[in-house]
Chains A and B, each alone.
Chain A
Amino acid sequence: MRVSGRAGILLAAGAAVLLLVSAQERKPSDVRPIREPLDLPSFLPSAADLKAWKPKPPPQRFKGDDLFLYIDGGAEIFREYGFAEVLVQDYEDSRGRTITLEIFAMTGTESAYGMFTFKTTAKGRPYAIGQEARLEDYYLNFWKGPCLVTLTGFDASRECVDGLLEIARAVNGKMQLKGSRPSLVDLLPKEWAAASRIVYIRGPLALSNIHAFFPQDVFLFKEGLAAEQDKFKIFILRYGAPAEARRRFQAVFEAFAKSPAYKDLKRPMENYFEATDGRGLRLYVQTFDDHISLILTPTVTDREAVLALFESLSGR
């Protein structure tokens, strides 16, 4: 199989243009460490702030490595995104039912946004709480500035959902914080805004959780983005500079070539190759500017759509 002539020319042209784009315009997002610890207890709603719920003392607080004591087995992913501390407070209603509030102070707004995207899906119902909020069955997440807030209820009943929303809005009202989404998110084509899941990635653990390409860390990216829509999965991995992305692309190609888990490897262009994985998924890999993009599809017949998607990425 070969890349079509038109698509190939467009891909090459797109790559050439993008290599000329100033690095300033695509400056990778930086983690901005919190200069001073946030006053997390000040974000806790009191009984007076709520109608049907009251805090059940005492709150719990875990900082740094102590997160392991709280989320035994699940702390690493927070660490990868950048974790500072968490405050946990239960709220109880008159029937003894509980909603748990967790306020995670992350090390930057990108970290909070990233953890939010990791924990949520587009199945969740969006709400205007914080900078972005999603309600999924019995739990609600929102992010605001460097904070990720998670509220977990007891079931998906109206009473539970009302409680989640009431407490979330009360927390939001006490948080005078703001931050920006990572610029990498803007690389995603507009039509992917409604993707079933968009995850901002800060390291190999999140990447392998979404799709395990290799048992080793082959990509060594600075930041990344994964999105899923219909039958397509797309990964955009960003590097410090275009030259670094090109070097890494060659290393990635060699890793695919050596791995017994992949077959039908084809490299019709210097900056592009394809392969098929053990599940029969076709993988398309390309480098543009300071990033490597990977697209997974169920069949090779999706190539034209994939190439169009690459073109779309290169035009942004």
Chain B
Amino acid sequence: MAHPIGRREFISRSAKLGVSAVLGERLLAGLAGGPGAAWAAPVADVAVVSGGDLAAATAKAVELVGGMGSFVPKKAKVVLMPNVQSKNPGTFTKPEILRAVIRMCRSAGAAEVACLSYLGQANWDGTGLAQVIKEEGAVLKLIPRDDANFKPTPVPNGAALKEAMVMNEFRAYDVFINMPITKDHAGTRFTGTLKNLMGLNAPSNNRGQFHKPNWQTDPAAIEHLETCIVDLNTVIAPALNIVDATEIIRTNGPMGPGELIKPGKVIAGADRVAVDAYCATVLGLKGEEVIQIRKAWERKLGEMDLKKVKVVETKV
């Protein structure tokens, strides 16, 4: 049963999730449905759907967490961020999943659906994602890596990162849907929704602030990186996370090539910490073993104890 969510309720929900208003109201509006959005009662906090038809699996996963109408108000401008880091198998979000999400956004009444990226056209071509964007009439905006295209953004509650550099163009959108692939990462052992946000932050900031100088590889440097990831997540809040866990690498991440495993799952949820905690299990880890997940939970960005959230697993 759907009911419209009022502005006050929306702000209250946002506040409960501990989201900073630094990026402004329009992006906050993407957190849990903006004014006027249809709000279907979600069946699950984390939906896990398996099946060979990735479009159907994606649609079912979104349906279980409330339906796309819960996250995308009519006439909203929606920005999607699939992972497009490498064309190696198991390292990028599947085009079929992106296509399904674009179509769902359109059905929900989105005025515009776009992907933003500071990675090059070759990344998007090599993964097949550019073709899907073109075929579905969505927009691909490639943002040059220069700092001029990123706005200094204070991180008021940053433990390690005091200022992010968020893509200027990002602010032109109402709703942000995060669409990573979960996979191994040589440094942090895991990557999912939280880390994917580095794709919106300036490369110079990622390099100069997240990674310690001279590519230090001691555990303290890795912890610093993971703390920065969490800090960034305090100022950017996806409305919805849809994760590709269909065919992923469990070694040599994040670029691969690496050992492929095929969990065959599409995972969705508004609580990115819970979603990542579930994704960690797909890679044989516990959520609390992944520093960024544990720190995000400590900062109240979401729940990492999967016993405390409703995880619904089904097949299509």
Contact = CB atoms under 8 A, between A and B. Distances in A.
A72 interface: yes
Contacts of A152: 88, 256-257
A76 to B, nearest CB: 5
Contact of A80 (B87, B217, B291): B217
Q: How large is the interface on A (under 10, 10 to 19, 20 to 34, 35 or more residues)?
A: 35 or more
A121 B259 contact: yes
B153 to A, nearest CB: 20
B85 A216 contact: no
Nearest to A83: B215
B85 A209 contact: no
A211 to B, nearest CB: 10
Contacts of A215: 219, 223, 291
Contacts of B258: 119
A152 B88 CA distance: 7
A79 B212 CA distance: 13
B191 A73 contact: yes
Interface size range on B against A: 35 or more
Contacts of A139: 88, 256-257
A136 B259 contact: yes
Main secondary structure of the interface of B (DSSP, over half): loop
Contacts of A75: 215
Interface string A110-121: 000000001101
Interface string A261-282: 0000000000000000000000
A224 interface: no
Given A205-B186, A205-B187, A216 B255 contact: no
A79 B217 CA distance: 8
Contacts of B223: 215
Contact of B217 (A65, A68, A76, A154): A76
B75 interface: no
A150 B251 CA distance: 14
Interface string B213-235: 00101111111000000000000
Contacts of A119: 251-252, 258
A232 B268 CA distance: 36
A72 B91 CA distance: 13
Given A154-B89, A209-B189, A216-B219, 9 more contacts: A68-B215, A71-B255, A72-B254, A73-B198, A119-B251, A139-B256, A215-B223, A217-B219, A217-B220
9 contacts: A69-B203, A76-B217, A118-B252, A152-B88, A203-B218, A205-B217, A212-B289, A215-B223, A216-B220
Interface of A: 65, 68-69, 71-77, 79-80, 98, 100, 118-119, 121, 123, 136-139, 150, 152, 154-155, 203-205, 208-209, 212, 214-217
Interface of B: 85, 87-89, 126, 185-187, 189, 191, 195, 198, 203, 206-207, 211, 215, 217-223, 251-260, 289, 291
